[in-house]
Structure 1
């Protein structure tokens, strides 16, 4: 019996996630495009900027980002490696508190302001309740990260997005899950008068039965649940202690394991 761990939610082999920073008013148009084509996104917000131009208002956030994810981007968008420890605590924790009070769910994802981070910050984030954080280092990679606190995206939306998506669609890796991760700022589309770029991409990428459309936190939670499956020593019994279903491969076939379920494989 061969057991593999190469399925996302719904037994998909591929996933797409989007990540957009700062929470300016142009997110309204971007969310509209995402919703039109069934794309899921994570929006990293600075709550200290709410209700100021050109940022979104605190009263619209819950409805605007419904069905997407809201994540930390710090309170006021400083370089986090250049501020005192007590200010770092405030920048992350106050942003979390403010966001959670608005959206009504736990916020434990993040993107680094200016893409600025170092080893000390990586070590500190878990103590602030942050479990993943996105960088601005576009790697062209098509795999989930080894370290979720140093989560490098595939590409910025200005980096040959359509061609990279075509490469991703043609990828046929039977051994490992594939991930296409796009990041940027919605105001860039407005500044560059190129909203057609994201519209064309979302239209091309939409409603593909082979792709799981997910927020950053959904991907993180799923992979953590997959890693936390409990096996007997001889791998004949597996249980899922998490709160979400996961899929594993058994001799090349996808097998679903529901939350709390125990499966006997032999």
Structure 2
């Protein structure tokens, strides 16, 4: 019997997540497109810039991003390696606190302003309640993150996104759990006059039964639960200590392991 980690929720073999920074007013149009096609995204906001042009209003955050994820992008968007540690803590914790008061849930993720980070920051983030953070270093493939605090995306949306979709569509193997992670800024669609491109992408990739449409933090939680499964030595018994239901591969077939349950394989 071969046990593998090759499936997302409901036994799906691929996943898509979208990640957008800054919280400008153009997020409104992007959200409408996402909602139209059932795409889920994570939106990284600078709460210190809300309620000023061209940024969103604090009063609209909860309703606008319902069904998606709000994460931090720091309070004022500084280069985090060029400020004192005290400022780093303030930038992250104040952003978390303000945004949490708007969305009414704990915020656990972020993206690095300007993609700027170092090893000292990576060591600090877990103590500030941050479980993952996205970089701006696209790797071009569909691999899962090896380090959640150094999470490199697949591509920026202006980097041949429709071609990436075609590559992603052709994938049929569940062995690597392919993930297409797209990032960018919604104002870029307005600036470059290419809203039609992101709508075409969302239309093409929507309603695919092989794809799990997820936020960043949903992927983090699922992968952690999957990797934390407890197996007997002969691999015939598995225990899922998480509250999340996960799917594993048993001789290549998806098998559901419910949260808090033992399962004999």
TM-score of the aligned structures, taking structure 2 as reference length = 0.98
What does 1:98-113 correspond to in 2, within 5 Å?
A: 98-113=98-113
Q: Distance in 2 between matches of 1:53 and 1:98?
A: 18
Q: 2:237 maps to what in 1? A: 237
**Cα offsets for 1:2-52 (capped at 9, x unmatched):** 111110111111000000000000000000000000000000000111111
Q: SS of 1:152's equivalent?
A: coil
Q: Distance in 2 between matches of 1:236 and 1:197?
A: 48
Q: 1:19 maps to what in 2? A: 19
Cα deviation for residue 233 of structure 1 reads 2.4
Q: Which moved more, 1:84-93 or 1:232-241?
A: 232-241
Q: Which moved more, 1:228-237 or 1:90-99?
A: 228-237
Q: Distance in 1 between matches of 2:198 and 2:174?
A: 29
8 A contact 2:14–2:174 mirrored in 1: no
Q: 1:67 maps to what in 2? A: 67
Q: 2:224 maps to what in 1? A: 224
Q: 1:177 maps to what in 2? A: 177
Q: Distance in 1 between matches of 2:227 and 2:37?
A: 31
What 5-or-longer segments of structure 1 have no aligned partner?
A: none
Q: Which moved more, 1:232-241 or 1:63-72?
A: 232-241
Q: SS of 1:91's equivalent?
A: helix
Q: Distance in 2 between matches of 1:186 and 1:150?
A: 22
Q: Distance in 2 between matches of 1:80 and 1:9?
A: 35
Q: Which moved more, 1:216-225 or 1:167-176?
A: 167-176
CA RMSD in angstroms comes to 0.8
Cα deviation for residue 63 of structure 1 reads 0.2
Q: Distance in 2 between matches of 1:49 and 1:174?
A: 42
Q: Distance in 2 between matches of 1:181 and 1:159?
A: 12
Q: Distance in 1 between matches of 2:254 and 2:186?
A: 37
8 A contact 2:7–2:174 mirrored in 1: no
Q: Distance in 2 between matches of 1:25 and 1:225?
A: 35
TM-score of the aligned structures, taking structure 1 as reference length = 0.98
Q: SS of 2:55's equivalent?
A: coil
Q: 1:41 maps to what in 2? A: 41
Cα deviation for residue 186 of structure 1 reads 0.3
Q: Distance in 1 between matches of 2:16 and 2:150?
A: 18
Cα deviation for residue 55 of structure 1 reads 0.5
**Cα offsets for 1:43-91 (capped at 9, x unmatched):** 0000111111110011100000000000010000000111000000000
Q: 2:97 maps to what in 1? A: 97
Q: Give the count of matched residue pairs.
A: 265
